[in-house]
Amino acid sequence: MKKTTPILLLMLAMGTLGAASETNQSTPQPTNAPADPSAVKKWQDDRFGMFIHWGPVSLTEKEISWSRGGKGTPVEVYDALYKKFNPEKFNADEWVAAAKAAGMKYIVLTTKHHDGFCLWDSKLTDYTIMNTPFKRDVVKELAEACKKQGIKFGCYYSVPDTHHPGYPYDLTGRGHPMREKYDLDAYHKYLMGQTEELIKNYGPLVTVWYDTDGTVSQVYGKRGFEVINMARKLQPDILIDERTGAPGDYSTPEQRVGGFNMTRPWESCMTISAHNHWAWGGEKDGVKPAGSVITMLAQCAGGDGNMLLNVGPRPDGMIDPEQVEAIRKVGDWLKVNGEGIYATRGGPYMPTPRYTATRKGNKIYLHILKWNGDSCKLPPLGAEIAASSLLAGGKVEVSNRPDGLTVTVPATDRKDSDTVVKLELKGDAMAIQPIKPDPVDQPPGKEKK
Ligand code: H79
């Protein structure tokens, strides 16, 4: 890539380029300051992170924010839950250890969800963890544990805040009536101040993962650009997602695998909960089997995306052992097969439910997810293969013909979720153009952006 000059960067940051290219428009189109490319690359190399949704709502086993004002939890009851929140078994080191055992490289915690409750000692509101019986700064403890154990830390922060009188909506989600009186500029100041607290007191952060409940695009206007530019000023290598109303650095398909995209960075957020619950949903909520998580991770990596897998800790402060056990199995799989996930790029085969592929240097990693008997047939590769092997060991035969590539592995060496076949090419795997699936194969997810 050509080197961007400081002047060009400045013009990009100020939006002057956008104005120059749109001759009919006199007002410059804002744009946010661009991400540090090496920070993007490092984050993409990490591929797998832990999302954590937690707060006083875990006491009710209902969904965070969305249950506020709903059946069984009137607004006053929801907003008073923090007075009873005392997660005495919270141990940040254990959370981080669980993430590391799962092979995750970063953690993103809900520091403030749409309900407005703050898990850190914010000086800008009293609605924080410091005013619960627990009185311990969870964000601080987790940020420190991450540093100690060598894993990156990031903050989820909801732009919508139904508790703050300045935000136009006092209930989560679209379609509610607006408050009679609100003050978005005052709220924006609050958001900017809290972002500053998070970056300054708990940073450096890998990301601020701003969220929306669908209302941001309707009310927040261009303020998102200011948010990103301010965060970037405080920490130049920070990454910001796309939900502030400004483009940000990466897309965030939710509860689905993103589509193949080698140009725009992306990260799918998914839940370990079998019912796609974000916060703790109780014992009966269920846990997705490790095999499905492995398949989702392979699909994300194959599409050139990351996966942020959510756990919802219990009200006593522990991540439920069943969730810990499921993600540990993913970590065990990654210990053997991580070479085909970490620091790879997606492709050249575009993902399908039967297979997906990742690559680096002269290597392609075929992730075979479903077999037809002993084999799996893919479209032609159009490149010469020098050697092939299975990352988990065993026998593999690869037939590389002009009409298609066929991989054959005996039953004893096939894995239920993902069998990773390593192909060493004679040339550069990155030079191969994306290979579309046969028409019978549908992509695993449809990307909107
Ligand atoms: O924090 C998580 C969600 O609460 C939040 N983003 C993730 C990371 C989110 N905000 N808006 N949305 C998700 C989109 C709305 C989803 C909904 Fe539903 C589907 C609203 C009602 C049905 C999910 C299921 C939330 C409540 C029930």
Report how far ligand 1's centroid is from the alpha carbon of 63 (Å).
9
Q: How confident is the model at residue 447 (pLDDT cuts 50, 70, 90)?
A: very low
Q: Tell whether the model's pLDDT for residue 416 goes beyond 50.
A: yes
- CA dist 212 and 298 (Å) reads 27
Which residue CA neighbors atom 15 of ligand 1 most closely?
213
Q: Which residues of 212-250 are buried (b: 16+ CB within 10 A; e: fewer)?
A: bbebbeebbeebbbbbbbebbeebebbbbbbbbbbbbbb
User: What is the band of 147 on the pLDDT scale with cuts at 50, 70, 90?
Assistant: very high
Nearest CA to ligand 1 atom 27: 66
Atom of ligand 1 nearest to the CA of 113: 1
Query: Ligand 1: which of 58, 115, 157, 254 to mutate, most ligand atoms within 8 Å of CB?
Result: 254
pLDDT at 8 over 50: no
In percent, the amount of the chain with pLDDT more than 90 equals 89
What's the whole-number mean pLDDT along residues 204-214?
98
Mean pLDDT, range 104-109, rounded to an integer: 99
In this predicted structure, what is the pLDDT of residue 26? 60
The answer to whether residue 336 scores a pLDDT higher than 60 is yes
Closest C-alpha to ligand 1, atom 10? 213
Out of 211, 242, 269, give the residue to mutate to test ligand 1, the one with the largest number of ligand atoms within 8 Å of its CB: 211
Confidence of residue 30 (pLDDT cuts 50, 70, 90): confident
- Residue whose CA is at the smallest distance from ligand 1 atom 26: 66
Rounded average pLDDT over 13-41: 64
Mean pLDDT of 14-28: 43
Q: What is the mean pLDDT of residues 254-280?
A: 98
Which residue's CA is minimally distant from atom 5 of ligand 1? 213
Position 31 scores a pLDDT of 81
**Residue 85: pLDDT over 80:** yes
Cα 302 → chain centroid: 15
pLDDT above 50 for 446 = no
pLDDT of residue 23 exceeding 90, the answer is no
What domains can be seen in the chain, in order of their start residue?
A: 37-340 (3.20.20.80), 347-431 (2.60.40.1180)
Q: Using CA positions, which residue lies closest to atom 3 of ligand 1?
A: 278
* Average pLDDT of the residues in 320-339: 98
The per-residue pLDDT for 345 is 98
Tell how far the Cα of 273 is from the centroid of ligand 1, in angstroms.
Answer: 14
Q: What average pLDDT does the structure give for the chain? A: 93
Whether the CB-CB separation of 176 and 169 falls below 8 Å is answered with yes
What local confidence, expressed as pLDDT, does residue 29 receive? Answer: 66
* pTM (two decimals): 0.92
Q: Which pLDDT score is estimated for 32? A: 85
Whose CA is closest to atom 16 on ligand 1?
A: 213
Hey, what are 400's tokens?
């590389």
The pLDDT of residue 439 is: 84
The 3 state secondary structure assigned to the chain is CCCCCHHHHHHHHHCHHHHHHCCCCCCCCCCCCCCCHHHHHHHHHHCEEEEECCCHHHHCCCCCCCCCCECCECHHHHHHHHHHCCCCCCCHHHHHHHHHHCCCCEEEEEEECCCCCECCCCCCCCCEHHHCCCCCCHHHHHHHHHHHHCCEEEEEEECCCCCCCCCCCCCCCCCCCCCCCCCHHHHHHHHHHHHHHHHHHHCCCCEEEEECCCCHHHHCCCHHHHHHHHHHHHCCCCEEECCCCCCCCEECCECCCCCCCCCCCEEEEEECECCCCCCCCCHHHCECCHHHHHHHHHHHHHCCCEEEEEECCCCCCCCCHHHHHHHHHHHHHHHHHHHHCCCCEECCECCCCCEEEEEECCEEEEEECCCECCEEEECCCCCCEEEEEECCCCCCEEEEECCEEEEECCHHHCCCCCEEEEEEECCCHHHCCCECCCCCCCCCCCCCC
User: Across residues 357-386, what is the average pLDDT?
Assistant: 98
What is the per-residue pLDDT for 441?
84
Q: Is the pLDDT of residue 58 over 70?
A: yes
Q: Residue range 390-411: average pLDDT?
A: 98
Beta carbons within 10 angstroms of residue 137's beta carbon: 20
Structure confidence at residue 444 (pLDDT): 74
Q: Which residues line ligand 1 (CB under 6 A)?
A: 53, 63, 66, 173, 211, 213-214, 254, 269, 278
- Which has the minimum average pLDDT: 42-56, 182-196, 430-444? 430-444
pLDDT for 66: 98
Across the range 236-253, mean pLDDT stands at 98
Q: Is the predicted pLDDT of residue 141 greater than 80, yes or no? A: yes
Examine the pLDDT at 245 and tell me if it is beyond 60. yes
Please name the residue whose Cα sits nearest to atom 13 of ligand 1.
Answer: 213
Q: Per-residue pLDDT for 5 more than 90?
A: no
Distance 64 CA to ligand 1 centre (A): 9
Q: Please indicate whether residue 378 or residue 33 has the higher confidence score (pLDDT).
A: 378
Report the separation in Å between the CA atom of 213 and the middle of ligand 1, taken as the mean of its atom positions: 7
pLDDT over 50 at 15, yes or no: no
Segment 280-293 mean pLDDT: 97
pLDDT at residue 348 in the model: 98
pLDDT(2) > 50: no
- pLDDT(278) > 90: yes
More confident: 122 or 442: 122
**Pocket residue to mutate for ligand 1, from 218, 256, 278, 311, most atoms within 8 A of Cβ:** 278
Q: Which of 64, 66, 208 to mutate to test the pocket of ligand 1 (most atoms within 8 A of CB)?
A: 66
Pick the atom of ligand 1 nearest to 310's CA: 8
* Nearest protein Cα to ligand 1, atom 25: 66
pLDDT of residue 304: 98
What number is the average pLDDT over the span 355-369? 98
**Per-residue model confidence (pLDDT) at position 144:** 98
Q: Calculate mean pLDDT across residues 255-273.
A: 98
Mean pLDDT (whole number) for 19-46: 76
CA 280 to chain centre: 18
